Chain A
Amino acid sequence: MRSARALTLLAGFLVLGLVPVVAALANQPFYLDLFRRIMIFAIAAVSLDLILGFGGMVSFGHAAYLGIGAYAVAIPAFYGIHSGLVQWPLALALSGLAALAIGAVSLRTSGVSFIMITLAFAQMLYYLGISINAWGADDGMRLARRSQFGGVVDLANAYVFYYVVFGVLVALLWLGHRLIHARFGVVIRAAKSNEPRMRAIGFATFRYKLAAFVIAGAGGGLAGALLTNQTEYLTPSYMHWTRSGDIMVMVILGGMGTLYGPVLGAVAFLLLEDILSAWTVHWQVVLGPLLVLVVLYARRGLYGLLPGAGARDG
């Protein structure tokens, strides 16, 4: 029944692609904004899923890479450099580099240590961000102008920006799909399954895990670049450890190790947040226990609820 699931997903993407049309017809630009935000976090969640779901590396510091990506756009903009062709590659490079440094140290440990260390390093970057007064310290600062792509693509146009994000998400999923089934993806997944065996048959697993860590970090950086364009604001709170937790929740809620699950998770989490926060400002007191219950009783996530679930792609 894999085709039933594929069809459902295709339908989902069709809906996502049509949101701007519907929003325009119903004259509700709010939904355009909301779903664009959802897609940006979906990109973050998918990139985390590579190492979390497929690689089994519980990295609790993913928000740091979003932050770096955001800074890579906002700081040049602050100094008058608005070209997206400069900012976005910079976002990828810097977040990848940070992931390389953090991963090189963290991946020497595992289990509880690894979780704590990734969390600690991410928080370190957050504190770094707060302490730099020139860039707004903990108040943050406005983004002078959205990334410019020379008139061809004008992000100031809400619809164009929506389809740019949509395009990035689809491209990421497609590249992710190829990666997962290529040699590299197989190594990552097998290392999660049985790392000692991998080493015994001759794989130096550290370098592959580090590479995955870097790729995931770069993906997070791209999400961050998009995020700061979305909100037109930069704040170190993008890097706060609770943001890392949120992204992790999206991956689990949606179904980790499934590539498309995190997209579902982002949709569910952010819609839930939207609905609950309209109800009460203290919505987290509900979300908290809800999360505990999901973890304890509904681990397969939403992806597991789609028709055709149970078919293993291997």
Chain B
Amino acid sequence: MNWLLVVEQCLNGLQFGVMLFLMAAGLTLVFGIMNLVNLAHGSLYMVGAYLATAAFNRTGSFLAAVAFALTATLAIGMLVEVIALRTLYERDHLDQVLATFGLILFFNEAVAIVWGRAALFTAVPRALSGHLQVLPGIPYPAYRAVIILVGLAVALLLYVVVSRTRLGMLIRAGASNRTMVGALGVNIRLLYTVVFGFGAALAALGGAMAGPIYSVLPGMGEEILIQVFVVIVIGGIGSIRGALVGAVVVGMVDTLGRAFLKPMLSTVLGPSAADNAGPALASMLIYILMAAVLFFRPQGLFPAVRS
């Protein structure tokens, strides 16, 4: 048993989970509090990735690039919220799905116009291109380790905000009973804008960090978005705790499955059968997991929203 590989893949799973969490946290709040199906959330991730990558390639400073991408994407997100999404809050889900689908088409094509359809390449920033000894004798890419740390820091920050601040109280109340919060005289407009902004910033951060290690192409947002949906369904709509648990579980299952399912299957089925079955089954794992969770708890593991 190659323990080095196992630990490395576990850490990769955690890193992927953390990226999923960054997307899921904002999106689950938008679903839960604003009852808005926002398919264009992935587009914010993508725009963050493109802007960070382009800025980093231009300036050579990763931190400056991330800061730029965060602010610019946040601005774009707010613009989209004001122009298109505000009117959708009162509409039914079908309208929201179609309208945000239209936004996806627009953003995917827009980045293709500016940067072309080929993947945009950028290197890992020099300072983080080495390895860290996470455990004695186990080196792990520094960049990925930093992503994990950033993600956990964000999780901690969100925990503090949601459970210790007034805003967090409003968020929890809104997730549990939206109409009541409005009836209590809270400025719903402002709350929605803040929540949406939160989500956009987190998506942008995820995208910005994703640049060096994932392919930056048109449509990258939707790839991860669908996995984020799985996270939210498993975790429970409106629940940040659910988003964290769901994200780590999905990240682990997917990464470990892709790494170890084929070798495991080939001991049982033989190498050539495993060659097809392995990757196929691995790509289906998280959906099977989702189906299993739904079967026993249709509302997810930590539902925040009361019926």
Touch A–B, Cβ below 8 Å: yes
Cβ B93 vs Cβ A285 within 8 A: no
| A249 contacts the other chain (CB 8 A) | yes
| A35 contacts the other chain (CB 8 A) | no
B106 touches which of A123, A248, A289 (Cβ 8 Å): A289
| CB contact under 8 A between A116 and B298, given known A132-B276, A289-B102, A296-B87 | no
Q: List the B residue with the shortest CB-CB distance to A56.
A: B94
Least Cβ–Cβ distance between A14 and chain B, in angstroms:
31
| CB contact under 8 A between A288 and B105, given known A115-B93, A132-B276 | yes
B280 touches which of A111, A132, A248 (Cβ 8 Å): A132
Cβ B233 vs Cβ A127 within 8 A: no
> Roughly how many angstroms separate A204 CA and B284 CA in the complex, as a whole number?
31
- Neighbouring A residues of B283 by C-beta, 8 Å: 124, 127-128, 130-131
Least Cβ–Cβ distance between B145 and chain A, in angstroms:
28
Least Cβ–Cβ distance between B199 and chain A, in angstroms:
15
| B20 contacts the other chain (CB 8 A) | no
| A188 contacts the other chain (CB 8 A) | no
| CB contact under 8 A between A288 and B109, given known A119-B229, A133-B276, A241-B226 | yes
**CB contacts between A and B, total, < 8 Å:** 124
Cβ B109 vs Cβ A292 within 8 A: no
**By DSSP majority rule, is chain A's interface helix, strand, loop, or mixed?**
helix
Residues 223-257 of B, flagged 1 when their CB comes within 8 A of A and 0 if not, give 00010011011000100000000000000000000
- Neighbouring B residues of A128 by C-beta, 8 Å: 280, 283-284
Least Cβ–Cβ distance between A209 and chain B, in angstroms:
14
Q: Range of interface residues on chain A?
A: 35 or more
- Neighbouring B residues of A193 by C-beta, 8 Å: none
- Neighbouring B residues of A285 by C-beta, 8 Å: 105-106, 109-110, 113
Cβ A113 vs Cβ B233 within 8 A: yes
Residues from 30 to 68 in A contacting B, C-beta threshold 8 Å: 52, 58, 60
Cβ B84 vs Cβ A241 within 8 A: no
| A271 contacts the other chain (CB 8 A) | no
> Roughly how many angstroms separate A58 CA and B39 CA in the complex, as a whole number?
14
**By DSSP majority rule, is chain B's interface helix, strand, loop, or mixed?**
helix
| B287 contacts the other chain (CB 8 A) | yes
Cβ B226 vs Cβ A119 within 8 A: yes
B233 touches which of A117, A288, A291 (Cβ 8 Å): A117
| A160 contacts the other chain (CB 8 A) | no
| B222 contacts the other chain (CB 8 A) | yes
- Neighbouring A residues of B279 by C-beta, 8 Å: 131
- Neighbouring A residues of B233 by C-beta, 8 Å: 109, 113, 116-117, 120
> Roughly how many angstroms separate A132 CA and B110 CA in the complex, as a whole number?
32
Cβ B105 vs Cβ A287 within 8 A: yes
| B173 contacts the other chain (CB 8 A) | no
| CB contact under 8 A between A109 and B102, given known A123-B226, A284-B108 | no
Residues from 112 to 153 in A contacting B, C-beta threshold 8 Å: 112-113, 115-117, 119-121, 123-124, 127-128, 130-134
Residues 84-125 of B, flagged 1 when their CB comes within 8 A of A and 0 if not, give 100100000111011101111111111011000000000000
| B residues apposed to A, CB below 8 Å | 31, 35, 37, 84, 87, 93-95, 97-99, 101-110, 112-113, 222, 226, 229-230, 232-233, 237, 275-276, 279-280, 283-284, 287, 290-291, 294-295, 298-299
